[in-house]
């Protein structure tokens, strides 16, 4: 892929956007892990923890890029990404009170790195899929998005809270990326090449299905919360 081509830059923007959409958990982890530290030490904990998390994220994504070349794993990754897109809509507002705050610089750094690695599987798979197996795109996308996550996470979360449709836009992008991975599976390419209309229909059905399922889940959850609140009022 030519780095001066429009395709390259569109893919890069998509990677950064996907990483930002899936970064809410990571931003919360960073804040919770460093919340007990002195302000003068918090910045160091965030910087070192994020650097370690970024390094692990790059290595993990490179491994996933390699694995996606194995027959049928591109299909499996696409199916998993469909689930991740659905969970993005269904799990808004999930609590993270189980993340322990560190009382020292290196304890906080360790917490950030370990928690990010445990929670970052969705980011890794999504970025690998959006990069279409191009390592340069992966590294550039992460180098751009991670600093934004660290320094602009609060602003981005406020934007999502103010404009909830951003979440749905993110789910659509993830859904398209997932279906693109599935249709690009080497074992299925001949079928979708022979029937391009079916490929378009498949992508549309999956994306619409993700949005509708996620929306219904959110509505059901909100109703349950309101019913619970009324029972205690």
pLDDT digits (tens, 9 = 90+) for 151-191: 655 565 566 668 878 778 878 888 888 898 889 888 888 99
Q: What is the pLDDT of residue 197?
A: 93
Residue 36 has pLDDT above 70, yes or no: no
**Is residue 77 included in any domain, yes or no?**
yes
**Is residue 136 included in any domain, yes or no?**
yes
CA torsion through residues 75, 79, 80, 84, sign: positive
Specify the range with the lowest mean pLDDT, choosing from 12-21, 24-33, 38-47, 162-171.
Answer: 24-33
**Is residue 45 included in any domain, yes or no?**
yes
Residue range of the domain that includes 52: 12-232
Number of domain units in the chain: 1
Question: What's the mean pLDDT when you consider all of the chain?
Answer: 76
Does pTM surpass 0.85? no
Whether the Cβ atoms of residue 156 and residue 148 lie closer than 8 Å to each other: yes
Residue 200 has pLDDT above 90, yes or no: yes
Residue 24 has pLDDT above 70, yes or no: no
CA 75 – CA 180 distance, rounded (Å): 10
**Is residue 2 included in any domain, yes or no?**
no
**Is residue 208 included in any domain, yes or no?**
yes
**Is residue 5 included in any domain, yes or no?**
no
Residue 195 has pLDDT above 80, yes or no: yes
**Is residue 4 included in any domain, yes or no?**
no
**Is residue 174 included in any domain, yes or no?**
yes
pLDDT band at 143 (very low <50, low <70, confident <90, very high): confident
How confident is the model over 56-84, as a mean pLDDT?
A: 80
Residue 207 has pLDDT above 70, yes or no: yes
CA 227 – CA 106 distance, rounded (Å): 43
Euclidean distance between the first and the last CA atom of the chain, given in angstroms as a whole number: 59
Cα distances (angstroms) measured from residue 171 to each of 59, 63, 87, 106: 25, 24, 9, 35
């Amino acid at each position: 892929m030519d780095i001066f081509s429009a395709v390259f830059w569109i893919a890069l923007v998509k990677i950064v956007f996907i990483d930002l959409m899936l970064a809410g958990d990571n931003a919360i982890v960073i804040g919770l892990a460093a919340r007990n530290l002195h302000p003068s030490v918090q910045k160091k904990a965030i910087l070192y923890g994020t650097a370690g998390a970024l390094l692990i994220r790059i290595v993990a994504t490179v491994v996933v890029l390699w694995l996606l070349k194995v027959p049928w794993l591109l299909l499996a990754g696409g199916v998993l990404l469909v689930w991740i897109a659905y969970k993005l809509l269904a799990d808004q507002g999930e609590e993270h009170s189980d993340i322990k705050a560190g009382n020292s610089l290196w304890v906080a750094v360790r917490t950030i790195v370990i928690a990010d690695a445990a929670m970052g599987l969705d980011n890794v798979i999504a970025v690998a899929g959006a990069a279409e197996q191009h390592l340069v795109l992966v590294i550039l996308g992460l180098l751009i998005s991670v600093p934004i996550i660290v320094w602009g996470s609060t602003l981005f979360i406020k934007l999502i809270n103010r404009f909830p449709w951003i979440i749905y836009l993110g789910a659509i992008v993830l859904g398209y990326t997932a279906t693109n991975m599935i249709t690009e599976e080497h074992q299925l390419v001949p079928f979708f090449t022979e029937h391009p209309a079916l490929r378009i229909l498949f992508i549309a059905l999956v994306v619409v299905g993700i949005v509708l399922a996620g929306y219904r889940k959110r509505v059901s959850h909100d109703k349950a919360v309101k019913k619970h609140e009324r029972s205690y009022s």
